[in-house]
Amino acid sequence: MTEAYVRINDLSKDFDVSSPWLNRVVEGKEKTYLKAVDQVRFDIEKGETFALVGESGSGKSTVARMLVGLLAPTDGGATIDGISLAGGRRTAQTNTVREKLQMIFQDPYASLNARWRIKKIIAEPIVSLKLLKGRAAIDARVDELLTLVGLHPDDGSKFPHEFSGGQRQRIAIARALASNPELIVCDEPTSALDVSVQAQILNLMRDLQDQLGLTYLIISHDLAVVRYMATHTGVMYLGRIVEIGAGRDLFLNPRHPYTKMLLDAVPDMEYPGRPRTAVQGEIPSPISPPPGCTFHPRCPLANDRCRVEAPKMIENVACHAIEERRSLP
């Protein structure tokens, strides 16, 4: 079997949220750590779209930022095209891989430099990576990218404040494409946009994927976006992946109780009268997560085993109830 294009290997991230040293000494307290990501593992094949979904605070964005190098993992690592990015070591191989990796951020209002013209914003990766020489060649490439994302070359002379949210996200996509990437990490790329504009951006992303052979990792809490875009979907809860499903299978046949609760929270116009399981409680604090299965305080299928033993991923789902074929009475 050939290795997946992107392989996430037991990726973990702890944040030090301790009080200042003097306060800890006076109060006699130890350091406090927040476990944002706990041994996450998944693969992405070349040309596909993998989505991570879950409630706010589940660790989705932390995984994305570790993959692109904005955060250093506490443990584990990632390989892209067979090249390991673990430990933050910079070699000729890792530099080449990172040049093929770009990110589209959630807020198109904050991710663009308000003092730069659009032409300079899009040209920055080209200049930084020395992909082209000469102002004429760079300007021609910027014009090409603006056209590719549905804008006019003349827009390059404007500033970000002269554009709508959807147009700014198109500019962000053009900037991401400037380095000729193979993998684009998209952190909530449409959450700050109106619904009608969301559809335009998603259609643009799919068209670009078909045209350029792009691979996407999409971070989202919007299940409609995930259902439309994803080839595979991973469901995260409190730093762990609890279920992975292919295509729309996850939506048609959810297995983990948490996945079912997420889907039950989405209005269904086709089957408005079907029985639903309401989402109970709130996500616990990652500073002091529950022992065993972290979902057990909210799970209708939890038993004593769930409260003491963390489930392992078996057949793409981490759940003792599924393993033991338990069901609601």
Angle between helices 165-177 and 135-148 (to 10 degrees): 130
Q: Which residue has the tokens 């809860």?
A: 237
The per-residue pLDDT for 95 is 77
Distance CA 12, CA 7 (A): 14
State the pTM of this model: 0.90
Q: Which residues contact 185 (CB under 8 A, 6 or more apart)?
A: 64, 67, 68, 101, 102, 103, 104, 216, 217, 219
Q: Which residue has the tokens 């692109």?
A: 68
Cite the residue boundaries of each domain of the chain with CATH code 3.40.50.300. Answer: 6-100+181-323
The per-residue pLDDT for 194 is 85
Kindly give the parts of the chain with pLDDT less than 50: none
Write the DSSP string, 160-207: GGGS-HHHHHHHHHHHHHTT--SEEEEESTTTTS-HHHHHHHHHHHHH
β-sheet with 33-44: strand ranges across: 33-44, 6-16, 75-80, 83-84
Torsion angle in degrees (nearest 10) through CA of 195, 197, 199, 200: 170
What would the pLDDT profile of 140-187 be if each residue is shown by its tens digit? Answer: 999 999 999 999 999 999 999 999 999 999 999 999 999 999 999 999
Q: How many residues are recorded in the chain?
A: 329
The per-residue pLDDT for 107 is 85
CATH topology of domain 6-100+181-323: Rossmann fold (3.40.50)
The per-residue pLDDT for 97 is 81
